[in-house]
Structure 1
Amino acid sequence: MEQNKQLDLLSFSTTNRKLRWIDDNNSLQEYLSILDSLKPIAIDIEGDSLHHYPEKLCVISLCQEGYLAVIDCLKGDLSSLWRMLSGCEWICHGMDYDLKMLRRAGCPQPKKIFDTHIAAKLCGFDSVGYADLVSLFFQVKLSKEHQKADWSRRPLPLSLVHYTAKDVLYLEKLKDILSKLLKSLGRSEWMEQSCERIRRKIEKSLSKPPYKDPERIEGFQKLDPLGQSILLEIQRWRQELALSKGIPPFKIIRTEDLIQISSISSQGESVLKIPAVKQLEKNIRYSLLQAIEKGKQNGPHNQPLLSKPFSFMDKESSKRFEELKTKRNKIASSLGLDPGLIASKALLSEMAMDPKTIRKRLIETDKLCPWQAELLGL
């Protein structure tokens, strides 16, 4: 393959190893034989969520002690790769999407995760993006030109292979730097707890549908009960249409347009004046109108609303909330941290309304880490 030959000649200036493009079992086994499953490995993935639905895992980029590879996930059996990865500590930046995609593709849980995004926040950095950290520590400016690329394209352009390889190239060194900083600050345990909490949350989310619960869509709670019923139905309509066409739901119609459609429909007004509806193909527009009618026939949505907890605080709870917020802000300022990293306002409100049992419940539901609870004196 010409692309393989080109890549074989490529050597990054920051490593003495060559970048490998792996799209067959022989080259995969050769690469895996070089790796040590007992050592940490830098990992990053690319999917096609902006172009296809359901989204697919398209490529995995790996780097261990300079051995750098981009693996085509649309070809061959990856079971040997999964076995190797399950025994390693992963180094990643923003684990949520990557871990979720890898788990859905069949990769087992990793032994441990070091998320450089979390580490940077715990160290108190203001800019914690991967490109920001690479620029800060290595004086290298990373391009963002391929963020919206279609990673399912084959053959994958060489420029995309280079682009995604750089997403793992600096992770091992970042881990070394940030680990030392965390240790000097006495926050290594915070880091472990934070990564484990997010890992558990992701694992729990795997049993849920890959699309967003309509009741958690921004704007749902502002609709009247009939509007909510309509939204539930047209959300299902969009989901089924996206699956049948193999394109992301937002490319059919945006979520904010669904909210507007639901609101107008519940008032008995025509949705045909809405620009997003006008732009739909005739047959799709007709099926949308049918879904709206079905939502109306279902009657008003009668499930309890998922309201923000602090919207129903009594006087005592409100007082505790303000005290907790003041305490959190003082602690954050003294530690040089973003206050939201210690606890969000939503969590503070839960603490204010249930001060006696809240520590156990928030930790058990993976909303809070023990280190956060201890800082707040829970």
Structure 2
Amino acid sequence: MEQKKEIQPTSIFSTDRPIKWIDNKNALKDFLLLIDPFKPIAIDIEGDSLHHYPEKLCVVSLCQGQHLAVVDCLKNDLYDLWDILSRSEWICHGMDYDLKMLRKAGCPQPRTIFDTHIAAKLCGFEAVGYARLVSLFFQVKLTKEHQKADWSRRPLPPSLINYAAKDVLYLEKLKEILTRLLRSLGRWEWMEQSCKRIQRKIENSFLGSPKEWERIEGVHKLDYLGQSILFELQKWRKELALLRDTPPFKIIKSEDLVQISFISAHGGSIAAIPAVQRLEREVVGDLLKAIEKGKQNGTRKELPSPKKLFLFDKEAAKRFEVLKNKRDKIASFLGIDPALIASRNLLSEMALHPESGCQKLIDEDMICPWQVQLLGLSSTSD
């Protein structure tokens, strides 16, 4: 029988609290005196990645109890804020981007993070966006009209300050509701493991960070010559983006760079590609020079290996189907997305390496112990 989550109507939740716009050091110090670092604090950030390159952390929104503020990161010395946040538990919605941006800006890792996005998925909600959860639990419709705003604008319009504040206003109450649901469903440990895994992955990305071009989707599908061309194209695009102070994707999209690299590596012409036709003539000239440089470099030792293909023998294919069917049945019983237990790629790894696959995935922070245990598998640490 499928487990059902109980959604209790929320008690009256007051959103009537003043918003402080903090754009100087003294105001920031005064606000931080009101914050208890030993209590959870709701946090959200806004950057200018849609408008400038390199992107900057522009504002940090904070909420704890009745204290609500939007901090101008472009005009403040943030050392005191980082000190408070490093000692706190954060409540975020979708921690990946926020934590990466804050770490880049100099903020240390927090003690722990409660991610309402992860929590909602573990509780079995199908729509887990922040606005959707706010609508579900508080019957409030949040508009996303400023989602693509330029947060580096100064002065920042009041409408944007209000928008940023609302992104943290409901997080504390959401944590309370989702914590109660997670505990009632017996999934609190899943939540802790999942949030810690994301924190570790983000931290490790700073230690041995792969180069930007290696993260382009489709790079592993190219042969070594195609990858060498893509390396030079991404380098060319980055330099142009810096010169123009514009996001690289606005010059030419990554998928177009992959297409250009593939065609160029196989001796084809890129003249008919719409993305190339939209570029200015002198820019196309520099692009062609980058392609030639990639061809001359040939193969490079630092290139990633081509995409790993899962080649199943008869036994591995059988193990994969058994794992997939088991995963789907468990997910149906629990009322959660099957991919939350394990993606097809993870199942493939387990099927190919039944003795060591699970432990390897755990060691590489690709999966949590609770996911392995749910599938009835074991790791060497069990």
Give the Cα separation in 2 of the matches to 1:123 and 1:137.
Answer: 14
Aligned to 1:264: 263
- Cα shift readout 1:344-369 (whole Å, capped 9, x = no counterpart): 11000110111112232211111111
CA drift of 1:233 comes to 1.6
- Cα shift readout 1:68-99 (whole Å, capped 9, x = no counterpart): 00000001211000001111110010000000
The residue type paired with residue 58 of structure 1 is C
- Cα shift readout 1:282-318 (whole Å, capped 9, x = no counterpart): 22211111101111112256857342452x1221111
Q: Secondary structure of the equivalent of 1:206?
A: helix
The residue type paired with residue 129 of structure 1 is G
Q: Is the 8 A contact 1:309 1:350 kept in 2?
A: no
Q: Which runs of 5+ in 1 are unaligned?
A: 1-12
Aligned to 1:10: none
Give the Cα separation in 2 of the matches to 1:308 and 1:143.
Answer: 42
Aligned to 1:283: 282
Aligned to 1:192: 192
Does residue 157 (structure 1) correspond to residue 157 (structure 2)? The answer is yes
- Using a 3 Å threshold, how does the CA distance of structure 1 residues 104 and 210 change in structure 2: closer, same or farther? farther
Give the Cα separation in 1 of the matches to 2:210 and 2:44.
Answer: 20
Q: Secondary structure of the equivalent of 2:33?
A: helix
The residue type paired with residue 154 of structure 1 is R
Q: Secondary structure of the equivalent of 1:270?
A: coil
CA drift of 1:224 comes to 4.3
Aligned to 1:107: 107
User: 1:1-378 residue pairs with structure 2 within 5 A?
Assistant: 14-208=14-208, 212-214=212-214, 216-299=215-298, 305-310=305-310, 312-378=311-377
Give the Cα separation in 1 of the matches to 2:259 and 2:130.
Answer: 36
Aligned to 2:380: none
Q: Secondary structure of the equivalent of 1:276?
A: helix
- Using a 3 Å threshold, how does the CA distance of structure 1 residues 304 and 204 change in structure 2: closer, same or farther? closer
Give the Cα separation in 1 of the matches to 2:94 and 2:81.
Answer: 21
TM-score, scaled relative to structure 2: 0.91
- Fraction of identical pairs, as percent: 67
Deviates more, 1:276-285 or 1:345-354: 276-285
The residue type paired with residue 374 of structure 1 is Q
CA drift of 1:16 comes to 3.8
Give the Cα separation in 2 of the matches to 1:209 and 1:184.
Answer: 39
Deviates more, 1:201-210 or 1:140-149: 201-210
Q: Secondary structure of the equivalent of 1:71?
A: strand
Q: Is the 8 A contact 1:308 1:346 kept in 2?
A: no
Q: Is the 8 A contact 2:49 2:56 kept in 1?
A: yes
CA drift of 1:210 comes to 8.1
Q: Is the 8 A contact 2:46 2:151 kept in 1?
A: yes
Once superposed, which parts of structure 1, at least 4 consecutive aligned residues long, lie more than 4 Å away? 208-211, 300-304
- Cα shift readout 1:104-134 (whole Å, capped 9, x = no counterpart): 1011110111000000001001110000000
Q: Higher RCO, 1 or 2 (CA under 8 Å, sep at least 6)?
A: 2
Q: Is the 8 A contact 1:41 1:64 kept in 2?
A: yes
Q: Is the 8 A contact 2:220 2:304 kept in 1?
A: no
Q: Which runs of 5+ in 2 are unaligned?
A: 1-12, 378-382
The residue type paired with residue 128 of structure 2 is V
Q: Is the 8 A contact 1:317 1:352 kept in 2?
A: yes
Give the Cα separation in 1 of the matches to 2:323 and 2:342.
Answer: 10
- Paired residue total: 364
Give the Cα separation in 2 of the matches to 1:203 and 1:346.
Answer: 23
Give the Cα separation in 2 of the matches to 1:24 and 1:194.
Answer: 37
CA drift of 1:377 comes to 1.4
Q: Is the 8 A contact 2:213 2:234 kept in 1?
A: no
TM-score, scaled relative to structure 1: 0.92
Give the Cα separation in 1 of the matches to 2:300 and 2:38.
Answer: 53
- Using a 3 Å threshold, how does the CA distance of structure 1 residues 368 and 209 change in structure 2: closer, same or farther? closer
Aligned to 1:8: none
Give the Cα separation in 1 of the matches to 2:166 and 2:211.
Answer: 30
Q: Over aligned residues, Cα RMSD in angstroms?
A: 1.8
- Cα shift readout 1:122-171 (whole Å, capped 9, x = no counterpart): 10011100000000000000001111111001001111111111000000
CA drift of 1:240 comes to 2.1
CA drift of 1:219 comes to 3.1
CA drift of 1:196 comes to 0.4
The residue type paired with residue 205 of structure 1 is S
